[in-house]
Structure 1
Amino acid sequence: MKIIKFTLIFSLFLGILSCTAQKNIQNSKTNAEISVKEGGKWNERKYEGGTFKNVQSLELDPRHTDHSFDIRFEGPGWESNKIAYRLYLDWRNAIDIFGKTTDKMILPIVGLDGFESYHMKQDWGSDILKVGKGQGIGSILRYQNNEMLYFKKVEKTSVNVENSAKKSVVNINYKGWETLNDKIDLTTKLEIFPNERFTKATVTPSKAISGICTGIVKVKELELLKKTSTNQKWAYIATYGDQSMFQDNLGMAVFYQTSSVENLADGPFDHLIVFKPTTQPIHYYFLAAWVNEPNGIKTKEEFVKYLNEKLSVLNANNKM
């Protein structure tokens, strides 16, 4: 009888903790999470059955690939009260955008019923970017001889998330990433802050190789917006127009340190920023602004003004 009572009390305690955690998330202005299935089974490279459970860290199952259905929204997600992002934690390594129509945290309710619902308009917003074969926004790949080299050969991939009142963080570690004749380790740190759209990215390669790049996917033939100066430390590339999944206005931008960049390139699927070979941390920022956000940016002129204000802050302080 004592065991039964203890079990009931312990279950009630866990329920209270869960409700408190959910309340704390909803009262937060940033959130990062990674959610995996348990209680099901692998059938070749697909995971069948089971339910999702949030975890603090994860080492990727070797069977995992795109659309394996074992990770909720296919990888880690992070958000502010303005916008949300997710990274495809597989060979694509692309970053997608969840547009939000609310300033509340939405990731805890996204994708619980599978991958299809968030591609349609929901009360909270929707997936708004068609990544296709591109990088999405702000992700890392390698570009050599007009060819995009993906994360198809990796010994081990791990990820962990951190949440605090000041920011939320996603850390990704690729061990033994093999492209052409090179094999390196690569770490990526993605930080998001309250009341901001941007993600601060810090990428560190273990070996100095050519072609490490980031960029913006070419959804449509839109004008590539650029602002740079030899006298300034930071610059940006951006696009703006009806390039969301719903043919409404979406702006995307990447800010980069001019001293770290080899060149800008017109890739097969993306507008690319190609970094110089290095083993030092590479710092850059990326952001998206969707017209349907609460009090969102509505026009190209507003978006450019917003970007120029952020650029001025970077050039003055070396950080946003």
Structure 2
Amino acid sequence: MKLNLVLGAALLAAFVSCKEKKDKNIVEEIVEIEEVTPETYAEISIKKGGSWKEGSREYDGGAFENVDELVVPEEHTDHSWYIRYEGPGWENKQIAYRLYLDWRNAMDIFGKKVDTLVLPYVGTDGFDSYHNNAPWGQDILKAGKSMGIGGYGRFTGDTIAHFNEVAKTSVKVANEEAHSSVTIDYEGWKTGDVTTDLKSVISIFPEDRFLKAELTPNTSFEGLATGIVKFDDIPVMEATSESGAWAYIATYGVQTLAGENDQLGMAIFYKTDQAKATEGPHDHLVVFNASTETQTYYILSAWDQEQDGIKSKEAFEQDLNEKLATLDANGMLE
């Protein structure tokens, strides 16, 4: 996909000014409009022109249109047919992700076989067509009751409390030269006896397969957590950086919707002074300390059908350890 730099207005004004001159000089210089292919992209796309069915939480009719910001309607839930692929998406040439913007609040992976941007076309030929294998790739992760890869909720000791009770959810999308990001503000998120506001800023960068996630609650409480979905017979891998400042949890193996021999690696990098790893019923977890400070972590996945991608567990572990060393040295990956 190519996006044009809009120079038309200034060019037209210059041309009209020239035409109005008495000597009717001809504009001889031709200004070419440069075509730029973005290196990152984020979006959210909603139905417009339809309506919510009476007595239902489904949106009927209308057509999808991208918006820069959105206050999620109270009627919206999973499978409301209102948000294209059910939430915001992020991508670069290597990988794409989406977040279910409803009570589940899980994050999913769109595996890509191409090195071009695909999200503007995902789900436009049928609401859930992305579950099917296509030339660009497909949805490859089954989140189930988990938080997927890098989603977030509250760990209460025996379960994850998702986002069943939220007073208001607002979303903003930004596409900039250095990165693309989605900011989500949850107001009045209630879990048990805790009610908090939570700001989530998730960013993708031009190179590599990771997202940066930043979570900021306005109330200090126990149990804010992220994680990786569990699959039978796929063990969790863990490592800590040389200084002890950063660590990761990861999995690698046959854990996709794309085929019996399809290989996927997933990882979460976290700061050891902010969080610790543990196990939940459906997720390998990273649970953050009670704090109102911003909790920062990185989400990473590697699909073996990606162009020039990681093809083995050994290569995946090598990539993780190199990133762990970078975090130790620089404190960031981007």
| TM-score normalised by length of structure 2 | 0.87
- The answer to whether the Cα contact below 8 Å between 2:302 and 2:309 also exists between their aligned partners in 1 is yes
**Alignment pair present for 1:65 and 2:77:** yes
Aligned counterpart in structure 2 of residue 258 of structure 1, from 247, 266, 272: 272
Match of 2:14 in 1: none
Please give the alpha-carbon distance, in whole angstroms, between the structure 2 residues aligned to 1:221 and 1:210: 30
Match of 1:293 in 2: 306
**Alignment pair present for 1:36 and 2:18:** no
Please give the alpha-carbon distance, in whole angstroms, between the structure 1 residues aligned to 2:243 and 2:307: 36
RMSD between aligned residues: 1.3
Aligned counterpart in structure 1 of residue 127 of structure 2, from 115, 120, 137: 115
Please give the alpha-carbon distance, in whole angstroms, between the structure 1 residues aligned to 2:110 and 2:84: 14
For residue 83 of structure 1, what is the amino acid of its counterpart? I
Q: Secondary structure at the match of 1:303?
A: helix
- The answer to whether the Cα contact below 8 Å between 1:94 and 1:137 also exists between their aligned partners in 2 is yes
| Superimposed CA distance per residue, residues 92-131 of structure 1 (whole angstroms, 9 cap, x where no aligned partner) | 0000000000110000000012332100111110000000
Please give the alpha-carbon distance, in whole angstroms, between the structure 1 residues aligned to 2:277 and 2:111: 27
Please give the alpha-carbon distance, in whole angstroms, between the structure 2 residues aligned to 1:115 and 1:222: 31
| TM-score normalised by length of structure 1 | 0.90
Match of 2:292 in 1: 279
- The answer to whether the Cα contact below 8 Å between 2:252 and 2:264 also exists between their aligned partners in 1 is yes
Aligned residue pairs: how many?
296
Q: How much has 1:294 moved relative to structure 2?
A: 0.3
Match of 1:315 in 2: 328
Please give the alpha-carbon distance, in whole angstroms, between the structure 1 residues aligned to 2:134 and 2:241: 42
Please give the alpha-carbon distance, in whole angstroms, between the structure 1 residues aligned to 2:202 and 2:93: 16
For residue 307 of structure 2, what is the amino acid of its counterpart? P
Please give the alpha-carbon distance, in whole angstroms, between the structure 1 residues aligned to 2:242 and 2:121: 45
Gaps of at least 5 residues in structure 1 are 1-22
For residue 249 of structure 1, what is the amino acid of its counterpart? Q
For residue 47 of structure 2, what is the amino acid of its counterpart? K
For residue 303 of structure 1, what is the amino acid of its counterpart? F
Q: State the structure with more CA Rg.
A: 2
| Superimposed CA distance per residue, residues 168-224 of structure 1 (whole angstroms, 9 cap, x where no aligned partner) | 001000000001011000000001000221000000001010010001001332111
Match of 2:171 in 1: 159
| Superimposed CA distance per residue, residues 28-53 of structure 1 (whole angstroms, 9 cap, x where no aligned partner) | 11100000000111111001111000
- 1:1-320 map, 5 Å: 24=36, 27-43=37-53, 44-228=56-240, 231-246=243-258, 247=260, 248-261=262-275, 263-320=276-333
Task: Indicate the structure with greater helix content.
Answer: 1
Please give the alpha-carbon distance, in whole angstroms, between the structure 1 residues aligned to 2:286 and 2:80: 30
Match of 1:20 in 2: none
Gaps of at least 5 residues in structure 2 are 1-34
Q: Secondary structure at the match of 1:140?
A: strand
Q: Secondary structure at the match of 1:139?
A: strand
